[in-house]
Protein backbone atom coordinates (compact mmCIF):
# COMPACT_ATOMS: atom_id res chain seq x y z
CA UNK A 1 0.00 0.00 0.00
CA UNK A 2 1.00 3.65 -0.35
CA UNK A 3 3.02 4.56 2.73
CA UNK A 4 4.93 7.78 2.04
CA UNK A 5 3.96 11.40 1.43
CA UNK A 6 6.05 11.37 -1.76
CA UNK A 7 3.93 8.54 -3.16
CA UNK A 8 0.69 10.27 -2.16
CA UNK A 9 1.68 13.52 -3.87
CA UNK A 10 2.85 11.73 -7.02
CA UNK A 11 -0.52 9.98 -7.30
CA UNK A 12 -2.79 12.89 -6.38
CA UNK A 13 -1.02 15.28 -8.75
CA UNK A 14 -1.40 12.92 -11.71
CA UNK A 15 -4.21 13.78 -14.19
CA UNK A 16 -5.81 10.34 -13.71
CA UNK A 17 -6.43 11.02 -10.01
CA UNK A 18 -6.32 14.77 -9.39
CA UNK A 19 -9.97 15.40 -10.34
CA UNK A 20 -11.54 12.79 -8.06
CA UNK A 21 -13.09 13.93 -4.79
CA UNK A 22 -11.21 13.24 -1.56
CA UNK A 23 -13.22 10.11 -0.70
CA UNK A 24 -12.50 8.46 -4.05
CA UNK A 25 -8.83 9.43 -3.85
CA UNK A 26 -8.47 7.86 -0.40
CA UNK A 27 -10.11 4.62 -1.57
CA UNK A 28 -7.75 4.41 -4.53
CA UNK A 29 -4.76 5.15 -2.31
CA UNK A 30 -5.81 2.51 0.22
CA UNK A 31 -6.09 -0.14 -2.50
CA UNK A 32 -2.86 0.77 -4.31
CA UNK A 33 -0.02 -1.76 -4.35
CA UNK A 34 3.68 -0.85 -4.46
CA UNK A 35 5.95 -3.23 -6.33
CA UNK A 36 9.70 -3.18 -7.00
CA UNK A 37 11.64 -4.85 -9.82
CA UNK A 38 15.38 -5.25 -10.51
CA UNK A 39 16.95 -4.33 -13.86
CA UNK A 40 15.68 -6.65 -16.63
CA UNK A 41 12.94 -7.85 -14.27
CA UNK A 42 9.80 -8.97 -16.12
CA UNK A 43 6.78 -6.98 -14.94
CA UNK A 44 4.16 -8.51 -17.21
CA UNK A 45 3.91 -10.84 -20.17
CA UNK A 46 2.03 -10.21 -23.39
CA UNK A 47 -1.36 -11.94 -23.01
CA UNK A 48 -1.40 -11.99 -19.19
CA UNK A 49 -4.70 -11.08 -17.48
CA UNK A 50 -4.81 -7.34 -16.69
CA UNK A 51 -6.33 -6.49 -13.34
CA UNK A 52 -4.28 -3.36 -12.59
CA UNK A 53 -2.64 -0.42 -14.32
CA UNK A 54 0.57 1.18 -13.12
CA UNK A 55 2.18 4.50 -12.25
CA UNK A 56 5.98 4.53 -12.40
CA UNK A 57 7.34 6.08 -9.21
CA UNK A 58 11.01 5.62 -10.15
CA UNK A 59 13.03 4.01 -12.91
CA UNK A 60 12.18 3.23 -16.54
CA UNK A 61 9.93 0.52 -18.01
CA UNK A 62 10.27 -0.87 -21.52
CA UNK A 63 7.05 -1.91 -23.27
CA UNK A 64 7.51 -4.31 -26.16
CA UNK A 65 5.76 -6.93 -28.25
CA UNK A 66 7.02 -10.29 -29.44
CA UNK A 67 6.27 -10.73 -33.15
CA UNK A 68 5.26 -13.99 -34.81
CA UNK A 69 8.88 -14.57 -35.86
CA UNK A 70 10.08 -14.13 -32.27
CA UNK A 71 11.57 -10.64 -32.68
CA UNK A 72 11.21 -7.98 -30.01
CA UNK A 73 9.44 -4.78 -31.09
CA UNK A 74 9.90 -1.84 -28.70
CA UNK A 75 6.65 0.09 -28.29
CA UNK A 76 7.47 2.73 -25.69
CA UNK A 77 9.71 3.61 -22.75
CA UNK A 78 7.74 4.71 -19.68
CA UNK A 79 9.59 7.07 -17.33
CA UNK A 80 8.94 8.13 -13.73
CA UNK A 81 5.69 10.02 -13.20
CA UNK A 82 3.89 8.36 -16.11
CA UNK A 83 1.34 5.53 -16.29
CA UNK A 84 0.91 2.51 -18.50
CA UNK A 85 -1.80 -0.11 -19.17
CA UNK A 86 -4.62 2.22 -18.04
CA UNK A 87 -6.49 1.95 -21.35
CA UNK A 88 -6.91 -1.81 -20.86
CA UNK A 89 -9.65 -1.22 -18.28
CA UNK A 90 -11.94 -0.13 -21.13
CA UNK A 91 -11.24 -3.15 -23.33
CA UNK A 92 -13.64 -6.07 -23.61
CA UNK A 93 -10.77 -8.53 -23.25
CA UNK A 94 -8.65 -7.47 -20.29
CA UNK A 95 -5.21 -8.78 -21.20
CA UNK A 96 -1.89 -7.03 -21.58
CA UNK A 97 -1.17 -6.37 -25.29
CA UNK A 98 2.56 -5.94 -24.58
CA UNK A 99 5.33 -7.19 -22.34
CA UNK A 100 6.80 -4.85 -19.72
CA UNK A 101 10.37 -5.04 -18.44
CA UNK A 102 12.36 -2.93 -15.98
CA UNK A 103 15.31 -1.18 -17.64
CA UNK A 104 16.75 -0.25 -14.25
CA UNK A 105 15.58 -0.62 -10.63
CA UNK A 106 11.88 0.23 -10.84
CA UNK A 107 9.19 1.03 -8.28
CA UNK A 108 5.61 0.83 -9.51
CA UNK A 109 2.29 1.73 -7.91
CA UNK A 110 -0.54 -0.47 -9.16
CA UNK A 111 -4.25 0.43 -9.14
CA UNK A 112 -7.29 -1.81 -9.48
CA UNK A 113 -9.05 -1.50 -12.85
CA UNK A 114 -12.39 -2.46 -11.30
CA UNK A 115 -12.13 0.12 -8.52
CA UNK A 116 -11.05 2.82 -10.96
CA UNK A 117 -13.98 2.05 -13.28
CA UNK A 118 -16.43 2.18 -10.38
CA UNK A 119 -15.26 5.64 -9.39
CA UNK A 120 -15.30 6.82 -12.99
CA UNK A 121 -18.94 5.70 -13.32
CA UNK A 122 -19.78 7.82 -10.27
CA UNK A 123 -17.78 10.87 -11.44
CA UNK A 124 -18.72 11.97 -15.02
CA UNK A 125 -16.65 15.15 -14.64
CA UNK A 126 -13.54 13.09 -13.97
CA UNK A 127 -14.35 10.92 -17.01
CA UNK A 128 -14.11 13.99 -19.22
CA UNK A 129 -10.69 14.86 -17.85
CA UNK A 130 -9.57 11.25 -18.38
CA UNK A 131 -10.79 11.37 -21.99
CA UNK A 132 -8.76 14.54 -22.51
CA UNK A 133 -5.67 12.90 -21.02
CA UNK A 134 -6.01 9.86 -23.28
CA UNK A 135 -6.74 12.03 -26.31
CA UNK A 136 -3.41 13.81 -25.87
CA UNK A 137 -1.61 10.47 -25.71
CA UNK A 138 -3.45 9.24 -28.81
CA UNK A 139 -2.39 12.31 -30.78
CA UNK A 140 1.20 11.74 -29.65
CA UNK A 141 1.05 8.17 -30.95
CA UNK A 142 -0.39 9.38 -34.27
CA UNK A 143 2.40 11.95 -34.60
CA UNK A 144 4.96 9.24 -33.91
CA UNK A 145 3.39 6.91 -36.46
CA UNK A 146 3.47 9.71 -39.04
CA UNK A 147 7.16 10.29 -38.34
CA UNK A 148 7.85 6.59 -38.89
CA UNK A 149 6.04 6.41 -42.19
CA UNK A 150 6.98 9.78 -43.70
CA UNK A 151 10.49 10.49 -42.40
CA UNK A 152 13.83 8.87 -43.14
CA UNK A 153 16.18 7.70 -40.36
CA UNK A 154 18.04 11.00 -40.02
CA UNK A 155 14.80 12.99 -39.89
CA UNK A 156 13.41 10.67 -37.19
CA UNK A 157 16.56 11.15 -35.14
CA UNK A 158 16.43 14.95 -35.56
CA UNK A 159 12.82 15.04 -34.36
CA UNK A 160 13.66 12.74 -31.45
CA UNK A 161 16.54 14.96 -30.32
CA UNK A 162 14.42 18.11 -30.48
CA UNK A 163 11.70 16.28 -28.57
CA UNK A 164 14.15 15.70 -25.70
CA UNK A 165 14.75 19.44 -25.24
CA UNK A 166 12.79 20.59 -22.20
CA UNK A 167 13.74 24.27 -22.17
CA UNK A 168 12.98 25.93 -25.50
CA UNK A 169 13.79 29.41 -24.21
CA UNK A 170 16.97 29.57 -26.34
CA UNK A 171 17.80 28.30 -29.81
CA UNK A 172 20.71 26.14 -28.62
CA UNK A 173 20.45 23.19 -26.26
CA UNK A 174 22.44 20.43 -24.63
CA UNK A 175 20.78 17.11 -23.82
CA UNK A 176 21.86 13.83 -22.32
CA UNK A 177 20.69 10.58 -23.90
CA UNK A 178 19.22 8.74 -20.93
CA UNK A 179 18.63 5.51 -22.85
CA UNK A 180 21.17 3.19 -24.50
CA UNK A 181 21.62 4.01 -28.18
CA UNK A 182 20.36 0.54 -29.13
CA UNK A 183 17.04 1.26 -27.39
CA UNK A 184 16.70 4.68 -29.00
CA UNK A 185 17.33 3.05 -32.38
CA UNK A 186 14.60 0.48 -31.66
CA UNK A 187 12.14 3.23 -30.69
CA UNK A 188 12.90 5.03 -33.94
CA UNK A 189 12.54 1.76 -35.88
CA UNK A 190 16.07 1.88 -37.25
CA UNK A 191 19.00 -0.48 -36.90
CA UNK A 192 21.87 0.42 -34.52
CA UNK A 193 24.28 0.89 -37.42
CA UNK A 194 21.76 3.18 -39.15
CA UNK A 195 21.47 5.17 -35.91
CA UNK A 196 25.27 5.61 -35.83
CA UNK A 197 25.29 6.78 -39.46
CA UNK A 198 22.47 9.26 -38.72
CA UNK A 199 24.42 10.69 -35.76
CA UNK A 200 27.50 11.02 -37.97
CA UNK A 201 25.43 12.69 -40.69
CA UNK A 202 24.08 15.33 -38.29
CA UNK A 203 27.53 15.90 -36.83
CA UNK A 204 29.22 16.26 -40.22
CA UNK A 205 26.65 18.85 -41.29
CA UNK A 206 27.33 20.87 -38.14
CA UNK A 207 23.79 20.35 -36.82
CA UNK A 208 24.91 18.65 -33.61
CA UNK A 209 28.02 18.05 -31.54
CA UNK A 210 28.19 14.74 -29.67
CA UNK A 211 30.35 13.39 -26.88
CA UNK A 212 29.35 9.98 -25.54
CA UNK A 213 25.76 10.49 -24.24
CA UNK A 214 25.88 14.31 -24.43
CA UNK A 215 24.37 15.92 -27.53
CA UNK A 216 24.70 19.65 -28.15
CA UNK A 217 22.37 21.31 -30.68
CA UNK A 218 23.86 24.67 -31.80
CA UNK A 219 20.57 25.76 -33.42
CA UNK A 220 17.28 23.95 -32.87
CA UNK A 221 15.59 25.97 -35.61
CA UNK A 222 18.25 25.12 -38.17
CA UNK A 223 17.97 21.43 -37.26
CA UNK A 224 14.20 21.55 -37.74
CA UNK A 225 14.50 23.50 -40.98
CA UNK A 226 16.95 20.93 -42.36
CA UNK A 227 15.15 17.75 -41.36
CA UNK A 228 11.69 18.24 -39.84
CA UNK A 229 10.14 19.93 -42.87
CA UNK A 230 8.41 22.45 -40.64
CA UNK A 231 6.97 19.87 -38.21
CA UNK A 232 8.00 21.20 -34.80
CA UNK A 233 7.33 18.76 -31.94
CA UNK A 234 6.14 20.16 -28.63
CA UNK A 235 8.81 20.35 -25.87
CA UNK A 236 6.88 17.87 -23.73
CA UNK A 237 6.65 15.39 -26.62
CA UNK A 238 7.91 12.09 -25.21
CA UNK A 239 8.98 10.66 -28.59
CA UNK A 240 8.03 7.12 -27.61
CA UNK A 241 8.09 5.47 -31.05
CA UNK A 242 6.17 2.41 -32.17
CA UNK A 243 8.76 0.08 -33.66
CA UNK A 244 8.63 -1.49 -37.11
CA UNK A 245 11.05 -3.10 -39.55
CA UNK A 246 11.68 0.07 -41.60
CA UNK A 247 15.21 1.41 -41.81
Q: What is the pLDDT of residues 19-47, one digit of tens each?
A: 899 999 999 999 999 999 999 999 999 99
Pairing of β 52-58 and β 42-44: unpaired
Q: Is residue 177 part of a domain?
A: yes
Q: Is residue 104 part of a domain?
A: yes
Band of the pLDDT at 53, cuts 50, 70, 90? very high
Q: Is residue 89 part of a domain?
A: yes
Exposed, middle or buried: residue 178 (CB in 10 Å: 0-12, 13-18, 19+)?
middle
Same domain, 13 and 118: yes
Residue 120, C-beta contacts closer than 8 angstroms, at least 6 positions apart: 126, 127, 130
Same domain, 154 and 222: yes
Instruction: Supply the pLDDT for residue 166.
Output: 82
Same domain, 118 and 161: no
Q: Is residue 86 part of a domain?
A: yes
Q: Flag whether the pTM goes above 0.85.
A: no
Q: What are residue 66's phi and psi, to 5 degrees?
A: -100, 120
Query: Region 46-72: what's the mean pLDDT?
Result: 91
Lowest mean pLDDT across 10-24, 29-43, 217-231 = 217-231
- CA-to-CA dists, residue 112 to 26, 28, 56, 116, 161, angstroms: 13, 8, 15, 6, 36
Q: Which residues of 145-172 are buried (b: 16+ CB within 10 A; e: fewer)?
A: eebbeebebbbbbbbbbbbbbeeeeeee
Give the span between the Cα atoms of 9 and 14, in whole angstroms: 8
User: In residues, how long is the chain?
Assistant: 247
Q: Is residue 11 part of a domain?
A: yes
Instruction: Supply the pLDDT for residue 75.
Output: 85
3 state SS of 70: coil
Q: What is the pLDDT of residues 73-108, one digit of tens each?
A: 888 899 999 999 988 888 878 899 999 999 999 999
Same domain, 108 and 43: yes
Of 101, 75, 105, 73, the C-alpha closest to 87 is: 75
Q: Is residue 10 part of a domain?
A: yes
Q: Within 13 Å, how many C-alpha atoms sit on residue 72's CB side?
A: 15
Same domain, 116 and 28: yes
Q: What are residue 173's phi and psi, to 5 degrees?
A: -155, 155
Exposed, middle or buried: residue 245 (CB in 10 Å: 0-12, 13-18, 19+)?
exposed
**Cβ-contact 189, 244 below 8 angstroms:** yes
Expressed as residue numbers, the domain containing 164 is 145-226
What is the CATH number for 179? 1.10.10.10
Band of the pLDDT at 150, cuts 50, 70, 90? low
| Count of domains for the chain | 2
Sign of CA dihedral 203, 209, 213, 217: negative
| pLDDT for residue 241 is more than 70 | no
Q: How far is CA 44 from the centre of its chain?
A: 17
Same domain, 82 and 34: yes
- CA-to-CA dists, residue 113 to 60, 110, 120, 198, angstroms: 22, 9, 10, 42
Query: What strand order describes the sheet that includes 83-84?
Result: 33-37, 106-112, 52-58, 83-84
Instruction: Supply the pLDDT for residue 163.
Output: 84
Amino acid sequence: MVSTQEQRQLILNHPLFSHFDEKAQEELLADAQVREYPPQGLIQRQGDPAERFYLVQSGKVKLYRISADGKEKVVEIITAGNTFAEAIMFMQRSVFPVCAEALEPVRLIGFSNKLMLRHLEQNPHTCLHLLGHMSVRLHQRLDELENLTLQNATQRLALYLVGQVRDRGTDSAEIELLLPKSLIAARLSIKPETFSRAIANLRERGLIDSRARIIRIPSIQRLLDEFAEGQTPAPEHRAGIIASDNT
